[in-house]
A and B are shown apart, each in its own frame.
Chain A
């Protein structure tokens, strides 16, 4: 049990984080750390991962362990996940936060570039979620929280390769939820909008961008409430409702 001031009275939650050095994942983990959670962090870059792990430990995480891995390598997933859950001695939440935007222009010319984006954003999460869902179903417990995107709600010319990878992921999550909900397993699809970063801090209208800490708070709260889908900030839910419902004969003429 952690002795930090903000720790919760119950036993610390055991959380597996994949893509732990991404901005939104890191902000989310800071909240969990201040609550005294136990964390297992996976990322590609050892140096960045160590910096994030030290931060979370300092902020009050009861336990922090890490593994360096390239999640594109799906063959490694079963041993990686088994090792992580062994280290945490269980798992209450798996948080999938890795992904790439990719180069849309290049992906329009080169199938291999498109395939790489689809692999990282779709195939790799499918591999992880297949293993994790079966683990959770056996125990009739657990939450799978996955960062998808509003871009997956409708393909647009500016980023349809990225968008289609997220569309596939969102569809997979919907089906998976339909299968495992009755087994006591929660599947949360997270769809964030543009988020404020260091770079945008002094840009005009940057105050209209979402603050990464508020995005993280919304994610933590959605997980606590066992929600199914989270648009964050919330305004993206009505915006995407409108965009999804624009007739194709109009939509194809738009510059989005």
Chain B
């Protein structure tokens, strides 16, 4: 029988798997929870094999993993510190999740300045991956709304970082993959809302030209994103649904969200997702919207976080897990690059359930290593089929490089060191700001020569 009321200290050193969302790769690591702002670096004194601060494990590949090392789990360091309803500035510990921020902020008439595709990420993780959302074209990345944070280093120093104080550490830490130190707290600028509702419009399109037309027509709409069918070719090639929305300006209900109740109950067998089932899903998704254009008023939860309804949905991919692939290709080659990649994926016959297409805007990110830049971004995911998925990935990564684009570390488990170093030529400059105690399996993989 397990012991109830065990103290945090007694539980702290347990060997247990910590999985990334793609569930590939999987590595053993020691989990050390950070409960308080003062826990680092005292907790890692006398520890070997390096450490890495992690949040909720929602990045897909190995940026949140450290093989045989120490993972500093920040989710219990989730206190609020202050909130000013006049400015919308919320200061909170870095382990607070965006879901917890929404629970606090929505009833007070405030919302996240940038929402990723899941609310189950921490504030620190959102900064470390400089995440983006459906409003990148108007709001930029998450880091654009971080006014300041505290960074604690393994030598015990504590730095206040902002665009004016320690600006080089501010820039290195936003998008810095948790490698520059432990973020203990951060200040985020929330934005006012008067309703939970989103004025939504879904529009069918056929082909990249129509997607680009819709993108141009929607510049004044705050949120835009597209789902694209990557299983169809010929007449249906690159068909999809362009989804756009704005926060409703009609005063309405501002209660907090109910808790999700559905959990994906088991690991699906490896064959459950195959080209037939995924193609059927894609066709069904396209035709679910039977009209060319659908206008609706929708709650923000299904608009921003449709997959959060089913906790642990990644189990659908079976125990081999899934690979994500996300590029941005700059405008110069965005159209030809996207068409070429989509053709390559369709040709491969490797199913992709969720393909998401979006135009990034030109708001510069404050992060030195941030992924987004102006152009088109495409995100795909595949169940892992060892002999097929990885060769396709290498082809897609090389194509991305030829078109002048780059891949997103938070969604990567496969890019080579040479690919990474050409995508992010500033990596050596960034490495100067790394905390010598901190590393990740991703960093070890893409900078073996450092």
B3 touches A199 (CB 8 A): no
Distance of A216 from chain B, by nearest CB (Å): 13
Distance of B209 from chain A, by nearest CB (Å): 44
B108 touches A5 (CB 8 A): yes
Within 8 A of A (CB), among B11-30: 11-12, 14, 16-19
Q: How far is the CA of A47 from the CA of B39 in the complex (A)?
A: 11
- State which of A8-16, A73-81, A125-133, A189-197 sits at the interface with chain B: A189-197
Q: How far is the CA of A247 from the CA of B424 in the complex (A)?
A: 68
Within 8 A of B (CB), among A1-52: 4-6, 23, 47-48, 51-52
**A106 interface residue, CB < 8 Å from B?**
no
| 8 Å CB contact of A54 from B2, B16, B81 | B81
Distance of B99 from chain A, by nearest CB (Å): 11
Q: How far is the CA of A54 from the CA of B92 in the complex (A)?
A: 10
| 8 Å CB contact of B76 from A159, A194, A198 | A198
Query: A156 — nearest CB in chain B belongs to which residue?
Result: B1
Residues of chain B within 8 A (CB-CB) of A52 are 79
A159 touches B3 (CB 8 A): yes
Residues of chain B within 8 A (CB-CB) of A156 are 1
A150 touches B83 (CB 8 A): no
**B36 interface residue, CB < 8 Å from A?**
yes
Within 8 A of A (CB), among B93-122: 93, 95, 104, 107-108
A101 touches B6 (CB 8 A): yes
**A59 interface residue, CB < 8 Å from B?**
yes
Residues of chain B within 8 A (CB-CB) of A193 are 2, 4
**A64 interface residue, CB < 8 Å from B?**
no
- State which of A137-145, A172-180, A201-209, A221-229 sits at the interface with chain B: A201-209
Distance of B114 from chain A, by nearest CB (Å): 22
**A230 interface residue, CB < 8 Å from B?**
no
B36 touches A101 (CB 8 A): no
A23 touches B104 (CB 8 A): no
**B431 interface residue, CB < 8 Å from A?**
no
**B254 interface residue, CB < 8 Å from A?**
yes
Q: How far is the CA of A119 from the CA of B306 in the complex (A)?
A: 51
A198 touches B5 (CB 8 A): no
**B204 interface residue, CB < 8 Å from A?**
no
Q: In the complex where A47-B36, A59-B80, A59-B104 touch, is A202 in contact with B16 (Cβ < 8 A)?
A: yes
Residues of chain A within 8 A (CB-CB) of B1 are 156, 158, 243, 256
**B interface, size bucket:** 35 or more
Identify whether the interface residues of B are mostly helix, strand, loop, or mixed.
Answer: loop
A197 touches B8 (CB 8 A): yes
Residues of chain A within 8 A (CB-CB) of B161 are none
A198 touches B33 (CB 8 A): yes
Residues of chain B within 8 A (CB-CB) of A101 are 3, 5-7, 10
Within 8 A of B (CB), among A86-116: 99-101
Residues of chain A within 8 A (CB-CB) of B254 are 5
Q: In the complex where A198-B73, A199-B31, A202-B17 touch, is A54 in contact with B4 (Cβ < 8 A)?
A: no
**B37 interface residue, CB < 8 Å from A?**
yes
Q: How far is the CA of A89 from the CA of B18 in the complex (A)?
A: 47
A199 touches B5 (CB 8 A): no
**B135 interface residue, CB < 8 Å from A?**
no
A151 touches B104 (CB 8 A): no
Residues of chain A within 8 A (CB-CB) of B7 are 100-101
**B263 interface residue, CB < 8 Å from A?**
yes
Distance of B393 from chain A, by nearest CB (Å): 25
**B56 interface residue, CB < 8 Å from A?**
yes
Distance of B341 from chain A, by nearest CB (Å): 32
Q: How far is the CA of A161 from the CA of B57 in the complex (A)?
A: 38
**A149 interface residue, CB < 8 Å from B?**
yes
Residues of chain A within 8 A (CB-CB) of B36 are 47-48, 51
Distance of A101 from chain B, by nearest CB (Å): 5
Residues of chain A within 8 A (CB-CB) of B263 are 207
Q: How far is the CA of A90 from the CA of B95 in the complex (A)?
A: 35
**A65 interface residue, CB < 8 Å from B?**
no
B57 touches A198 (CB 8 A): no
**A55 interface residue, CB < 8 Å from B?**
yes
Q: How far is the CA of A197 from the CA of B76 in the complex (A)?
A: 7
**A118 interface residue, CB < 8 Å from B?**
no
Q: In the complex where A23-B8, A47-B36, A199-B12 touch, is A54 in contact with B3 (Cβ < 8 A)?
A: no
6 contacts between A and B (CB under 8 A): A5-B107, A54-B81, A101-B3, A101-B10, A197-B11, A203-B14
A interface residues (Cβ-Cβ under 8 A, vs B): 4-6, 23, 47-48, 51-52, 54-55, 58-59, 99-101, 147, 149-151, 156, 158-159, 162, 166, 191-195, 197-204, 207, 236, 243, 256
